Amino acid sequence: MTSMGVIRAVRRRPHLWPYGLTALLPYLRKEAMTELLPYSPGLENVIATTTRISYLDVEHEQIVVRGYDLIELARKRPYLDVAYLLLYEKLPDADEAAAFRAALRQEASLPDEMYRLLSLFPKTTDPMDALRTGLSFLAGYEDPAFLADTSREANLRKGIRILAKAPIVAANAYRALQGQAFVKPDPALDFSENFLWMILGRRPDDQAVRVFDTILTCYIEHELPNSTFAARVIASTLSDIYAAVVGAVASLKGPLHGGANEAAIRMLLEIYEQGGAARAEAYVLDKLRRKERIMGFGHRVYMRRYDPRALLLRDFIPLLVDRRPEGRELYAIYQTVEAVMAREKGIHPNTDYPIGFLLYLMGVPIPLYTPIFLCARVAGLIAHVVEQHENNRLYRPRVLYEGPRGLSVP
What residues are annotated to the active site?
A: 257, 299, 352
387 and 53 Cβ atoms separated by less than 8 Å: yes
User: What stretch of H or E contains 199?
Assistant: helix 191-200
User: How far out from the chain centre does Cα 207 lie?
Assistant: 25
Backbone angles phi, psi at 29, to 5 degrees: -60, -45
16 and 23 Cβ atoms separated by less than 8 Å: yes
Q: How many residues would you count in the chain?
A: 410
Backbone angles phi, psi at 57, to 5 degrees: -90, 90
Question: What's the CA dihedral at 213, 215, 220, 221 to 10 degrees?
Answer: 150
Q: Which amino acid is at 181?
A: A
302 and 243 Cβ atoms separated by less than 8 Å: no
Crossing angle for the helix pair 127-139 and 369-390, nearest 10 degrees?
40
Backbone angles phi, psi at 299, to 5 degrees: -160, 135
Backbone angles phi, psi at 305, to 5 degrees: -95, 160
d(CA 344, CA 304): 12
249 and 135 Cβ atoms separated by less than 8 Å: yes
